[in-house]
């Protein structure tokens, strides 16, 4: 967080995609909440630093292909709506 705080003015996009630690193939992203990354905490901390820029949902790889992109996108958007606070004034 210290590195992000020191360089916040240089960050123009935050990409969200989850990952499972046992998966070694690349690219391999999961719908947020389906993996092991504490994305809800990380997103909250980045917003608390003052980041108010774009947030991108990154969905690619076998898990997304197996589920189907439409379903994965819908679930990803639901996760974002629940866990990504909208900065005041937006």
Convert the pLDDT of each residue in 28-71 to its tens digit.
999 999 999 999 999 999 989 999 889 999 999 999 999 999 99
Tokens of 24: 């070694």
Q: CA geometry: angle at 75 spanning 69 and 81, to 5°?
A: 130
Domain residue limits, the chain: 2-83
> The whole model's pTM is what?
0.84
Mean pLDDT estimate for the chain: 91
Q: What is the pLDDT of residue 89?
A: 62
In terms of Cβ atoms closer than 10 Å to its own Cβ (0-12, 13-18, 19+), residue 18 is: buried
Q: What is the pLDDT of residue 84?
A: 87
């Amino acid at each position: 967080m210290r590195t992000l705080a020191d360089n916040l003015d240089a960050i123009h996009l935050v990409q969200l995609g989850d990952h499972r630690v046992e998966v070694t193939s690349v690219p391999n992203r999961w719908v947020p909440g389906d993996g092991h990354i504490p994305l809800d905490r990380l997103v909250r901390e980045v917003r608390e630093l003052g980041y108010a820029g774009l947030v991108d949902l990154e969905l690619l790889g076998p898990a997304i292909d197996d589920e189907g992109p439409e379903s994965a996108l819908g679930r990803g958007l639901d996760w974002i709506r629940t866990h990504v606070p909208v900065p005041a004034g937006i």
